[in-house]
Amino acid sequence: MIPIDLIETTAETLMDKAAIEIPQDYLDGLKAAARTEDGDLSSFVLKAMLENYEAAKEDRRAMCGDTGVPRWFVKLGNEARIEGGFVALEAALRRATATATTGVPLRPNRVHPLWRTDHNNNVGIGAPEIEYGFEPEGAWIDLITVHKGGLFGTDYRMLFPSDGIEGIKRFYLDSLVAFGKRGLACQPAIIGIGLGGSKDTCMVLGKRASVLRTVGSRNSDPKIAAMEDEFKELGNSIGMGAMGFVGKNMVIDCNIEVGYCHTGGMQMSVHAFCLSSRRAVARLFPDGRVEHRTDPDWFTPYQRRETIEWNPQREAAE
């Protein structure tokens, strides 16, 4: 059984790391972009951001003044057991969020949508979000915190099968141009695309694609992986760079996730995980061990399974 105190203290550490330490995969991607960028203002932004990340880590301060809206993803092995159960788990994550808001500190962005009530701790009705995933083996728990911007940089469109890949490209480029020209996202970003599902699951797929996959990872479907490479290049060919200025590095990477959908439609969502790509991950074991990493490793073969019963050999063969 995993102690609830260990969950809470680990969650507090993760909140600190996500707000302050840029993940290495995104940092490497940004450095690669800086080496090839030739737009004057875009180059200036990239250089300033790289210096800012170093200063944030050295001073132990949040890398961006707008610390986004903290949320949690929890993945459990099938044999995992939690002291106090899931209610205790969720209470621990809410306490850790409130503690980090004053401790890091984070900007208390969460307010009631109508009355603008602000508890000054990023906790309230439905906040922070806690989403779950499961794996067929193991007694461990993965805690993943993501501090994603909560305003813009997201769009959705109902496409039709006849729109095809070209229709997907059009909406993708429409979204990127709008993000850049209207200042709706801070580039260069990790772009997540969700295809299929229903409207709500399509949005979830796209958001998870942007925040729960690392730069350089590729979908296990070779055809989708090829689309990811193509869409990254396409996104960087529209003449926009960092923060929407003239340049050629708007997209650090493009990740695509799919879900089966109604036969008459092809839902699509586009999400930008901004240049403060804040995420942190830890795996907790019943013996008290905690292993920190930056790769959420969310989209496993089990998460992408197509069969009724879980059959690893069949999934691997397909």
Measured distance CA(293)–CA(192) in Å, rounded = 21
- Which residues sit opposite 60 in a β-bridge? none
**Among 192, 215, 217, residue whose Cα is nearest residue 269:** 192
pLDDT at 231: 98
pLDDT at 286: 97
Residue 307: CB partners within 8 Å, gap ≥ 6?
314, 315
**Among 124, 112, 133, residue whose Cα is nearest residue 212:** 133
pLDDT at 65: 87
pLDDT at 183: 80
Give the type of residue at 265.
G
Measured distance CA(208)–CA(134) in Å, rounded = 15
pLDDT at 317: 60
Mean pLDDT by 10 residues, the chain (318 residues): 98 97 94 94 95 94 91 98 98 98 95 96 97 97 92 90 97 94 88 97 97 97 98 96 93 97 96 91 97 96 93 67
pLDDT at 202: 97
Cβ burial of 304 (10 Å; 0-12, 13-18, 19+) is middle
